[in-house]
């Protein structure tokens, strides 16, 4: 019994770490820049397929793909920022939303053309191996993916906490006008911020690909998970996003243990509605306060 | 910020306005005549689909176009409507033509369930939640016994010849399209319309001048969902078979957004222009390319419109009209001190 409970908890925490980085990019972009990136999960999907292609063509290990995804998606994020976001930033919010929605549909369908709607998996040499610790079975892939996620979260946290750029980004999140007056280059930092958000999405895609099967047309599911993490943890705060991710992971592993798999999704959506209802003031206040 | 109040809605001269109305009425008369005397099944059925999308897009336009709250999952409410009439037929043998209003009510209740938590919040939460909720409803339809899961529900074919069935739905959807367009026109010229535009332009300011923003959003969203539900209920009878993946297809949500954005969201003429463009172009493309390529093309068009031509076709038209005819009221209006 105890080992059963322990394995549910371990499973939940490891999954939660991956969910945390899935939500992190959405949370940072929303918290600092106020952009709801509805295309977030499309970039997550691209990350999964980056891992898939690197593995299939060159036999590159997903761990390497995870590290590679960060610069690749950072650049991609900056391109998207320069091409799309800068043009809609000063316009009405609906225009930006429509543009991002179009981008999501574009990426999803380009993905479908390139990789069809088949469900794919990434199978590394250690996929079926697991570590047994006092009766608790810990699959290697989950340990590695969770560890990488934790490293990334630590890295982003340290970046925002200790570097000058990170401090400037936090200042920008708290009050863009004041930050601009004291000499923060808002335009450049927004690009960096958006790039960072997309880099997190891509890396999350690689981590998810190690654990779950994936296909281009089911990516919206990850938007639901990422959004749940964001509203549970509040906006723009790395530490609370981590906590929220682990909470979502635990909720999922407990639900999976006691009810049929599909029902887990419904629990998630009910949770989403409940949190949105309860936290409605918390959300808007969180925008101003955090990181 | 308040510029929206200073732009006169009606631009152009009286004769030009009359001419525009004349064109719309002539078009309507022509379509009605084709419905009565046209004999090509394919044309009738394509046009019936166009009218169906006009109704859906007009409904979307109310909250999305005027109010600026985008619903990226209109198919959720459409599908709930379809399943309502489907289930009522399955267990009570009631014709969807009778139960379509109930389908609307069911969809409106679902709309309130999603709208009440999300529309209290400013910004894009409503858009995000509508986008991801389709998936949950699809799972419900798959898992519940009352919906018969992946088996779906069969409805009886109407005891008519195929051409008569198409003619029937042609007029049903044409009638609905006229009705809903009239509703949107009335809303545009009413206080609700102004309230919605005020919410879109600046919600804080709208609240300060006394718009009950949250209640307006809830009510308009319920109306949007009601209309989508009614259309879904009738659609169930039209295709005579509903199942979770096809009825809750993301394509329907996507089409509605495409049509509104291309035609011009926030104009009553927008859906009338957007729906035929998107459907006819999609039909033409279907022969040469796959549906994925089709969607790639349209999503690129949507991105380009969002970036460079806000307001779509109608946005261009209204800007062109305004530029062509500088009216004395314009000068007077812009001379007013900003509130």
Q: What is the pLDDT of residue A31?
A: 81
Inter-chain touch B303–A34, beta carbons under 8 Å: no
User: Which pTM value belongs to this model?
Assistant: 0.87
Q: Which residues contact A195 (CB under 8 A, 6 or more apart)?
A: A73, A74, A75, A76, A77, A78, A81
Cα B223 to Cα B111, B234, B251: the distances in Å are 9, 17, 22
A269 touches chain B (CB under 8 A): yes
| Cβ-Cβ contacts under 8 Å for B85 (sequence gap 6 or more) | B94, B96, B99, B100, B102, B103, B155, B232, B233, B234, B236, B237
Percent of chain A with pLDDT over 70: 95
- Residue B242 host element (H or E): strand B241-242
Q: What is the mean pLDDT of chain B?
A: 86
The reply to whether A93 touches chain B by the CB within 8 Å rule is yes
DSSP-assigned beta bridge partners for residue A136: A133
Contacts of B302 in chain A (CB under 8 A): 98-99, 101-102, 105
Helices (H), chain A: 2-28, 40-58, 62-80, 86-88, 93-115, 140-162, 164-174, 176-181, 186-211, 220-233, 238-258, 261-278, 280-289
Residue B154 φ then ψ, to 5°: -95, 135
**What pLDDT, on a 0 to 100 scale, did the predictor assign at position A289?**
42
Q: List beta partners, residue A138.
A: A131
> Is A81 in contact with A32 (CB distance < 8 Å)?
no
Decide if B105 touches A, using CB distance below 8 A: no
Mean pLDDT of A206-228: 88
Task: Check CB contact of B162 with chain A, cutoff 8 Å.
Answer: no
What residues in B contact A38, CB-CB < 8 Å? 72, 124, 127-128, 131
**Residues on chain B touching A96 (C-beta within 8 angstroms):** 306
- To the nearest whole Å, the CA of A177 is away from the closest chain B CA by 19
Q: Minimal CA–CA distance to B28: which of B20, B317, B58?
A: B20
For testing the chain A interface, which of B115, B292, B293, B301 should be mutated: the one with the most A CBs within 10 Å?
A: B292
For the segment A8-35, what is each residue's pLDDT rounded down to a tens digit? Answer: 888 899 999 999 999 999 988 888 887 8
Q: Which residue has the higher pLDDT, A278 or B32?
A: B32
**Cβ neighbours around A158 below 10 Å, total:** 12
Cβ <8 Å between A265 and B135 = yes
pLDDT at A44 over 60: yes
Task: Specify which of A18-22, A133-137, A178-182 reaches the highest per-range mean pLDDT.
Answer: A18-22
The closest of A159, A146, A259 to A204, measured between CA atoms, is A146
CB proximity A259 to B under 8 Å: no
**By CA distance, what is A265's nearest residue in B?**
B136
When pLDDT is cut at 50, 70 and 90, the band that residue A94 belongs to is confident
State the CB neighbour count (10 A cutoff) for residue A258. 9
A118 touches chain B (CB under 8 A): no
Q: What is the mean pLDDT of residues A111-139?
A: 81
The verdict on B265 touching A (C-beta cutoff 8 Å) is yes
As separate numbers, helices (DSSP H) first and strands (DSSP E) second, chain B gives 16, 2
Residue A77 has pLDDT above 90, yes or no: yes
Q: Distance from A201 to chain B by nearest Cα, in Å?
A: 17
Contact (CB<8Å) B302/A98? yes
Return mean pLDDT, chain A. Answer: 86
Note down pLDDT in tens along chain B; length 339 residues. Answer: 344 444 455 555 778 888 888 999 999 999 998 888 888 888 898 999 999 999 999 999 999 999 989 999 999 999 999 999 999 988 888 888 888 999 999 999 999 998 888 888 777 788 888 888 888 888 888 888 887 878 888 888 788 888 888 899 999 999 999 999 999 999 999 999 999 999 988 888 888 888 888 899 999 999 999 999 999 999 999 888 888 888 888 889 999 999 999 998 889 999 999 999 999 888 888 778 788 888 899 899 999 998 888 888 888 888 888 887 665 555 444 444 444
Q: Flag if A102 and B302 touch (Cβ within 8 Å).
A: yes
Using the Cβ of A96 and the Cβ atoms of chain B, whether some distance falls under 8 Å is answered with: yes
Closest Cα in chain A to B121: A280
The confidence score (pLDDT) of residue A246 equals 92
- Tens-place pLDDT, residues A57-73: 888 888 999 999 999 99
pLDDT tens, position by position, B157-167: 788 888 888 89
pLDDT value at residue B9:
53
pLDDT at B257: 92
Nearest to A94 among B70, B116, B117 (CB): B70
Q: Which of A88, A105, A268 sits opposite B299 (nearest CB)?
A: A105
- Put simply, the answer to whether B300 touches A95 (Cβ < 8 Å) is no
Instruction: Inspect the interface and report whether the beta carbons of A266 and B139 lie closer than 8 Å.
Output: yes
pLDDT the model gives residue A8: 87
Q: CA dist A289 to A171, A185, A284, B280, Å?
A: 10, 21, 9, 49
């Amino acid at each position: 019994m105890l080992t059963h409970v322990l394995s549910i908890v371990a499973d939940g925490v490891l999954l939660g770490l991956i969910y945390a980085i899935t939500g992190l990019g959405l949370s940072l972009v929303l918290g600092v820049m106020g952009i709801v990136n509805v295309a977030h999960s499309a970039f997550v999907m691209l990350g999964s397929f980056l891992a898939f292609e690197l593995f299939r063509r060159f036999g590159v290990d997903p761990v390497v793909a995870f590290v590679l995804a960060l610069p690749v998606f950072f650049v991609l994020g900056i391109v998207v920022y320069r091409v799309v976001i800068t043009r809609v930033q000063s316009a009405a919010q609906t225009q930006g939303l429509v543009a991002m929605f179009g981008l999501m549909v574009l990426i999803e369908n380009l993905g479908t053309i390139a990789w069809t709607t088949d469900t794919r998996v990434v199978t590394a040499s250690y996929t079926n191996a697991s570590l047994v610790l006092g009766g608790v079975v810990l699959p290697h892939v989950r340990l590695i993916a969770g560890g990488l996620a934790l490293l990334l979260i630590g890295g982003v946290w340290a970046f925002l906490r200790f570097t000058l750029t990170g401090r400037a980004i936090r200042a920008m999140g708290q009050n863009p006008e004041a930050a601009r007056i004291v000499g923060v280059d808002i335009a450049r930092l927004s690009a960096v911020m958006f790039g960072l958000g997309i880099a997190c999405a891509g890396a999350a895609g690689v981590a998810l690909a190690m654990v779950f099967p994936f296909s281009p047309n089911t990516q919206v599911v990850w938007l639901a998970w990422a959004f749940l993490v964001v509203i549970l943890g509040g906006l723009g705060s790395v530490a609370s996003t981590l906590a929220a991710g682990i909470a979502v992971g635990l909720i999922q592993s407990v639900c999976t243990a006691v009810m049929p798999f599909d029902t887990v999704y419904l629990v998630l959506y009910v949770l989403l509605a409940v949190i949105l209802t309860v936290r409605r003031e918390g959300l808007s206040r969180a925008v101003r306060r955090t990181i | 910020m308040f510029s929206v109040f200073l732009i006169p809605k009606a631009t152009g001269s009286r004769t030009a306005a009359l001419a525009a109305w004349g064109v719309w009425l002539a078009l309507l008369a022509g379509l009605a005549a084709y419905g009565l005397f046209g004999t090509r099944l394919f044309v009738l059925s394509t046009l019936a689909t166009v009218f169906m999308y006009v109704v859906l897009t007009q409904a979307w336009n109310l909250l999305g176009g005027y109010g600026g709250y985008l619903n990226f999952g209109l198919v959720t409410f459409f599908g709930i409507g379809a399943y309502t009439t489907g289930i009522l037929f399955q267990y009570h043998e009631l014709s969807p033509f009778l139960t379509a209003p109930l389908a609307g009510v069911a969809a409106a209740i679902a709309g309130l369930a999603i709208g009440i938590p999300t529309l209290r919040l400013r910004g894009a939460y409503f858009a995000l939640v509508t986008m991801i909720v389709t998936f949950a409803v699809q799972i419900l339809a798959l898992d519940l016994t009352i919906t018969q899961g992946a088996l779906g529900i069969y409805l009886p074919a109407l005891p008519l010849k195929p051409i008569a069935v198409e003619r029937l739905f042609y007029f049903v959807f044409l009638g609905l399209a006229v009705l809903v367009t009239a509703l949107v026109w009335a809303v545009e010229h009413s206080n609700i319309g102004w309230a919605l535009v005020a919410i879109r332009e600046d919600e804080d300011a709208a609240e300060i001048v006394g718009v009950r923003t949250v209640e307006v959003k809830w009510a308009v969203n319920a109306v949007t969902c009601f209309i989508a539900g009614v259309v879904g209920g009738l659609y169930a009878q039209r295709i005579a078979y509903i199942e979770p993946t096809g009825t809750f297809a993301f394509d329907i949500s996507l089409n509605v957004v495409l049509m509104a954005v291309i035609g011009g969201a926030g104009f009553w003429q927008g859906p009338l222009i957007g729906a035929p463009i998107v459907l006819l172009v999609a039909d033409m493309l279907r022969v040469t390319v796959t549906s994925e390529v089709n969607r790639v093309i349209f999503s690129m068009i949507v991105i380009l419109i969002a970036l460079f031509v806000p307001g779509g076709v109608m946005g261009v038209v209204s800007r062109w009209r305004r530029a062509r005819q500088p009216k004395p009221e314009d000068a007077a209006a812009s001379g007013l001190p900003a509130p």
